[in-house]
Structure 1
Amino acid sequence: MKEYKVCVVGATGLVGQTFLKVLAEYDFPIQELKLLASARSKGKAVEFKGQTYYVEELTADSFDGFDLALFSAGGDVSKQFAPIARAKGLTVVDNSSAWRQDPAIPLVVPEVNLADTALNKLIANPNCSTIQSIIPLKALDDAFGVTKVNYATYQAVSGSGQKGKDDLARTLRGEEPQFYPHNIAETCIPEIDVFMEDGYTKEEVKMINETRKILHKPELPVSATCVRVPVANSHGVAMTVELAQDFTLPEVEAVLADFPGVILANNNQEHYYPTSTLSNGQDKIYVGRLRKDRATKNGLLLYCTGDNIRKGAAANAVQIALAMAKNNQL
């Protein structure tokens, strides 16, 4: 396979560091690697595959001569620099929320809608909770048709970055919270991102809009309640899905077990169901607790967990880039 010149933007952050870990694990074909971050991280030494690299300050000239840029440096940085990288001929995979709802920018999960990468050289990585939910949802949609979705998330503190992880550690020591509005060691917090006028949070609106966009179903009824929980890493999502046709649970099990990126964990008697400890460090989504919804015709209840830093961010982006490399799209 051809080798590529790769930039990692936000290389010193939690997701940026995981970009590097996943690039190494997947043996991504790298000819040259450049690590970029803000001026305060300039000169920082970072190890990658046994070599030491020194972080450079991100500027408009950083992308000259490169093929691929993986961004995880926040929405403002992406809005400023991702179009510059694209204009210089790079394929850009951006992990921020800056481009997710732009109709011209594909929002991609490789197992679901990889073909959308052909639409633009700038590709958006979805929200972490959306990524892990959309994979089993796509399997169900292909087999039975999805007509309605309700999400309830149980999101780990790593979804807030290092500040979230630090606040959990701090409050577990008995200290007062400095980042979350309540003591995350003692309660779940039903507030992720800012509140909108209708009472939904921005995180909930992201899940609603991104689900519709990825599935190419702009009118799909979707609702969500997003909750931060005192777990270090790996989100959980409880899903109520209304299907277009009747189904049996063995049929659903077979569909999910055969879908790329899914591990079926659905033996309740053996206590084998999705947990954050199972999915932590993994790039597949664990799906289980399958039940017929007693309150909805053709309704299905399920629970899934996924590593929000890996599959929910870094690994999904690298998987997009690797698939494009194999298809000679970079």
Structure 2
Amino acid sequence: MGYKVAVVGATGNVGREMLNILAEREFPVDEIAALASRRSLGTECSFGDRTLKTQDLEQFDFTGWDIALFAIGSDATKEYAPRAARAGCVVIDNSSLYRYDPDVPLIVPEVNADAVMGYAKKNIIANPNCSTAQMVVALKPLHDRARIKRVVVSTYQSVSGSGKEAMDELWDQTKGMYVPGQEVAPSVYPKQIAFNVIPQIDVFLDSGETKEEWKMVAETKKIMDPAIKVTATCVRVPVFVGHSEAINIEFEDFLDEDEARDILREAPGVMVIDKREPGGYITPVECVGDYATFVSRIRQDSTIENGLNLWCVSDNLRKGAALNAVQIAEVLGQRALKKG
């Protein structure tokens, strides 16, 4: 016996990936609904070998539905997520709206699956920020072994994290560089993204951090351990899909790089590709479409007493969003919404 599942925002990048991954992982679905705004009514979406037509989110009745995967912005989520939750449907939300609510669990299944039972307070579970999700998957097994004191992370985040319009802007600007008179001015981003990098993701806060950087700090503490100190610099790069991170870790106890490599090889959700030769590492192009969080360039940091550096890459539309949401649904089914 399966579940009745609704995917909210089914026509967007993440919503489409949710449908793909539900089918790929053979999530036990008895009935599925693809929901979107009225302007997308009737748009076709793929679910395995089936084609779904989107239904109007505004008119949809969540009564009797088990799980709703939300992939819409915070404003729309604020209106529709409570409606679904009140109807008895558990919401797994990809927006930032509920991530910092103490009554809403923030879940990365490889890291804190036990916290999923906290869903009952509001019938809502939050999916973390894409850059946080892949980082904590790599950090958690190392933290269990040697206790992390401090993390310094620099991210190299793809434009798909900003949605389809951002991907179009990179494509159009890149083409325009070669056609005189066809240059495309920045619209999604404050500066040109083609052949450039932009050290700003989201708005600036009074502290000088961007909101994306603040999210990585707050979410790592909530998911893993509030005692961990985190500082982040988040950068948008001209890559279509796949986020990369250079992570420096300071531990309470010494952890040898070889032991760290062995630990990560055995860690759930992690794939270690780490050869000290040209190309012996993973780049964003190679991670697209994969479930894993890839770790490379594992090495000792000799400038501090107990330090390691590593390189972490993942498909942000998958582990950073859609895959993590489906994994949460799987845990929820196993532990709370058991059927049959």
Q: Do Structure 1 and Structure 2 share a fold, with TM-score over 0.5?
A: yes
**Is 2:215 the counterpart of 1:206?**
yes
1:165 to 164, 167, 173: 167
1:285 to 267, 282, 293: 293
2:302 to 290, 294, 308: 294
Q: Deviations over 1:97-156 (max 9, x none)?
A: 000011111000010001111011310000000000001110110011101111100000
Q: Is the 8 A contact 1:273 1:289 kept in 2?
A: yes
Q: Is the 8 A contact 2:241 2:315 kept in 1?
A: yes
**Is 2:150 the counterpart of 1:141?**
no
Secondary structure of the equivalent of 2:280? coil
Following superposition, the deviation at residue 328 of structure 1 comes to 4.4
Secondary structure of the equivalent of 1:15? helix
* Cα distance in 2, alignment partners of residues 49 and 246 from structure 1: 47
How many residues are paired up? Answer: 328
Q: Is the 8 A contact 2:16 2:46 kept in 1?
A: no
- Structure 1, unpaired ranges of 5+: none
Matched letter for residue 133 of structure 2: I
Report the equivalent of 1:329. Answer: 337
Report the equivalent of 2:98. Answer: 99
Aligned 1:268-283 pairs, distance under 5 A = 268-269=276-277, 271-283=279-291
TM-score by length of 2: 0.94
2:152 to 133, 150, 153: 150
Q: Deviations over 1:275-328 (max 9, x none)?
A: 112211111111011111122210111110000001100011001101222334
Secondary structure of the equivalent of 2:277? helix
Which deviates more from structure 2 when the two are superposed, residues 313-322 or residues 54-63? 54-63
* Cα distance in 2, alignment partners of residues 86 and 207 from structure 1: 27
Following superposition, the deviation at residue 201 of structure 1 comes to 0.3
1:236 to 234, 238, 244: 244
Matched letter for residue 196 of structure 2: T
* Cα distance in 2, alignment partners of residues 232 and 46 from structure 1: 21
* Cα distance in 2, alignment partners of residues 219 and 326 from structure 1: 30
1:193 to 182, 189, 202: 202
* Cα distance in 2, alignment partners of residues 116 and 225 from structure 1: 28
Secondary structure of the equivalent of 2:195? coil
* Cα distance in 1, alignment partners of residues 88 and 59 from structure 2: 13
Report the equivalent of 1:315. Answer: 323
Report the equivalent of 2:134. Answer: 132
* Cα distance in 1, alignment partners of residues 318 and 97 from structure 2: 20
Q: Deviations over 1:140-187 (max 9, x none)?
A: 100111011111000001111101101110110122233212211121
Matched letter for residue 129 of structure 2: N
**Is 2:36 the counterpart of 1:37?**
yes
Matched letter for residue 188 of structure 2: F
TM-score by length of 1: 0.96
* Cα distance in 2, alignment partners of residues 70 and 248 from structure 1: 40
Report the equivalent of 1:68. Answer: 67
Report the equivalent of 2:118. Answer: 119
Following superposition, the deviation at residue 220 of structure 1 comes to 2.1
Q: Identity percentage over the alignment?
A: 45
Secondary structure of the equivalent of 1:59? helix
Secondary structure of the equivalent of 1:98? coil
Following superposition, the deviation at residue 270 of structure 1 comes to 5.2
Q: Is the 8 A contact 2:198 2:237 kept in 1?
A: yes
Q: Is the 8 A contact 1:47 1:53 kept in 2?
A: yes
- Over aligned residue pairs, what C-alpha RMSD do you find? 1.3
Q: Deviations over 1:178-210 (max 9, x none)?
A: 321221112110010001111100000000000
Q: Is the 8 A contact 2:37 2:58 kept in 1?
A: no
* Cα distance in 2, alignment partners of residues 114 and 265 from structure 1: 26
Q: Is the 8 A contact 1:60 1:81 kept in 2?
A: no
C-alpha spacing 1:31/1:213, structure 2 compared with 1 (3 Å)? same
Matched letter for residue 300 of structure 2: K
* Cα distance in 1, alignment partners of residues 199 and 53 from structure 2: 40
* Cα distance in 2, alignment partners of residues 238 and 308 from structure 1: 15
Aligned 1:253-272 pairs, distance under 5 A = 253-269=261-277, 271-272=279-280
Following superposition, the deviation at residue 45 of structure 1 comes to 2.4
